[in-house]
Structure 1
Amino acid sequence: MKIILIFILVFFIHFSLSAQVVFTYNITSPVCYGGLNGEITVNVTGAMPPLHYEWSVPGAADTNVLQGLSVGYYYLTLTHSGGQEIDSVFLPDNTPVILNLFPHNTSCSGKADGQIQTTVSGGVPPYSYSWASGAVSTSMLNIEEGMYAVTVTDSLGCPAYAEAIVETDQELTTIDTIRNISCWAGGDGIINITATGGTFPYVFVWDMTDSVFTDTASVWSIVDSLNVKTFYVTITDSIGCSISKQYKLISPSAISAGETHVNNICKKGSSGSITAWAQGGSGGFSYSWSNGLTGSTVTGLSAGTYTVVIRDAHGCSVRQSIDILEPFKGILADVEVTDVSCRDQHDGMINVSYIDNATQPCQLLWSNSKTENFIDNLDGGSYMFTITDANNCQLIDTFIVNVPDIDCIEIYTCFSPNNDGFNDVWNIKNIHLYPACEVLIYNQWSQELFKSKGYSVPWDGVFSGESLPAATYYYVVTLGDSRYKPYKGAVTIVK
């Protein structure tokens, strides 16, 4: 390349009033606009040597030549044997190379129908072009969207650099609404896309991996009931511009569940418990049990099968059933019941003779507050006991002491009051049960021989201090209880 240097010779003549010193300048402007290769050479006449040059440029040498200069004013102080002179000179610049780019957008994304036009002025023609792509043309044609850069150089080698962006007119894009699968192995995914930009109307072509279908919806397209898979769609507008997209739907991991449980220690007990747990899914688990309870832990369970449904935050569920067991046998007891002997007697008995399948020690409590295995002197009626072993297992049972329909009074028909220690008095069996009774004894002529309110002291066959002879006598026994009629009969004194 041939470089033409333009030297501008400017003569500046300064007439010193005192010494007729004349300054003549030879000026070379910077080759390119804004450059640093300008030069000033000064020739001085009328000054007497020695000559000393002091320039306004810091560090400049004591010489009449100043190099590496940019545009601007420069000042010179000349010292000679006749005195000192001060002068200035202006270094002008060359015309800059001015570069303008005019981009034209592509009609579709990825389509090479864009272009960039250039205009250049200033500098010294002719100009050369160097694009970042390697092209050397004055313009770029049939290009895709993107950034482009060019450097233009004039005949002096002075460059100008510029960049331009080629875009797409109304670029075809989509607004996507994706709903991933709610549950593991589910099929409720949805892809909803809305086309924007480009040129209306649009055509959507879906590739569902195992099938392809076309949707000619004007603006949007929805596909639903989707499972975990990758889906592809191509959207084409009315002038043939198209974009392709892919969507991969995901789902939560499978819900895995487990449990720990405690069986009942006691037969027919309710000390069982279950703690269920889950992981995976979408978290936020809730627990619904077949007995109506909620929460991960349920307690107070009797023997049986319990089912829990565990749901995550999306409503996905897993079900598991747990068996709560109990001992095959509960506490056993051998119990003997002795009924009351007669209607007004209190001689019933219950005896717990043996306790089995219990963890000792055991405690026994009767409904009458007794705590012994054997209880007696019982009236007729119902008696309940509770046996509690060391594990707090219990046997609760109820026993009936029956009352026979038999009179308790038994009246003997004879006695022998002969002071031999046997049958010396007339005893009436169980008469003590009737403390309000009255006993009357008569002879055959209805003469009252004995009368007693209550019968704590039996009749000994004596009347008025004399022993009565052997004979038959007659009694009337009234119990003092309206339920009973008087007992009447004969009693014989035997001697």
Structure 2
Amino acid sequence: MNKPECSRLYKVATKHVCALLLCFCLSLSGLYRVSAQDIELKNPSLETKVLSSMLPDGWKRFEQSPDVQPGACGITQSPYAGNTYIGMMASPDWSERIVQELVTPLQANKTYTVSFKLAYPPEYFSSSVCSGSFAIYGANELTEKGEILWKSPAIMHQDWKPYTAVFSTTKAYKYFITGPYMDTICHNAYRAVLLDDFSPYMREVPQIIVQARNSCKGEQTGSATVRVKAGQPPYRYRWEPGNFSDSIVKNLEKGTYKVTVTGANGAAATTFVAIGENELTADVTSSAPICHGDTNGIIKLNISGGVSPYAFSIDGGVSYQDEPLFEHLKAGNYDIEVKDGFNCILNVNNFTITEPEPMEITAANASAVSCSSVKNGSVELLVTGGVSPYIYEISGQSRGYDNVVSGLDAGDYIYRVYDQHNCYVEGETVINKEWRDCAVFMPNAFSPNGDGMNDIFRAKVHDAVTEFRMAVYGRWGQLIFESRNPNVGWDGTERGSGLPAGSYLWVVTYTDSKLQEIQQKGTLVLVR
């Protein structure tokens, strides 16, 4: 005899008795009570006084023919508690489940927990069983397949072990259905389960939402708040580590915390919350004041980390601004404070804004006009500070990058020197004029003995000459010295060695201020 034939014999023998018991159970339905959303199960211990195919009071067959155990279909295992329990099988073409119509339906968007005991029979009605399995379903019609609310993993233990199912609903269900399920692991073999000792209630589990706030880096400023959406108040809270007992905990450092919320019905929900660290970092850039002493410096911050919005202070936290930009600053050291949306603080201390060195004219060397009929006065300007290169200006006229401004007539001049940022320094000078005829004069002797007097043989130019050349020759006509700068003369040496006293020949050529090409020659005496 196979399992379906065994089930049909049970069904014929007990048909009328089942009908009577069903009426009796329905007549008692008004006696069951519900505590908040804790839904009471009828006959949770699955007890029946008669070992037969008739299911325990409060339970019905949902598919095929579940068995009251022990003693049916070769099952001899003792109950976990009491006298009876339920055995069920499943295969690709055979399914046994039991159902109970709930006094109060499972409600939508709730979480419930129920406990029970399960075992696995390796053989059921002379058929090998691949493994045990168990599922809980919800349905609103007995003709429905039912929606799976919870599934066990594969059950491989033959002794009774406790299980707790926690499941959530998306809609209301008035039928509570349980039984083994099939999957592809066992292929064509049977799966079976032995079920005993439900908890008296399906208890509503608190539904909790935890909101966390990170700690500031290296501090204990984190916090967490747990809010209960559903469950049976009042609630008890337990946080680990820390053993806190409130719904809100503060002064937390970085780490992972576990919170368990237990309702008045004893049902508990646990979740974990991670407290991170808000680490503020700042990329700080600056622009220096353009000129020395200006107040147009800038500090700009690029912030990452933390929680926006950010606030920025440059006066030690006395005042804050929303923008990460500080303008109109002079050079100096600044302490900057950044505060995020959780009041985490980042300090950037001693941030330095530099500025150019002050521009200063260290010398203004004026050269007089050399004779009465030319304009060859000049000013040599020596400048420090600012940002080179410099541009030189005399009396409002730019003269470019040459620090020697020439071609000036006698008179009073205002000069101004600009750096590349258009910063400037200015001053005044006077160009004098030598009221004499324009000419080039050559001395006839010099004494290069290092006494600081008449040590150099050079031309005395009292004219605006161009294309100047002075050459000195030895007694055999060899070239000893040559200069194309009127200000550069001969020191009485050749290739670094002093020449002996005696007579030497010189030749000077130039173009004078009247554009005449002039040549002068003569002898000089070198005195030792």
Report the TM-score, using the length of structure 2 for normalisation: 0.38
- Higher relative contact order, structure no. (Cα contacts within 8 Å, ≥ 6 residues apart): 2
Is the radius of gyration larger for structure 1 or structure 2?
1
More helix by share: 2
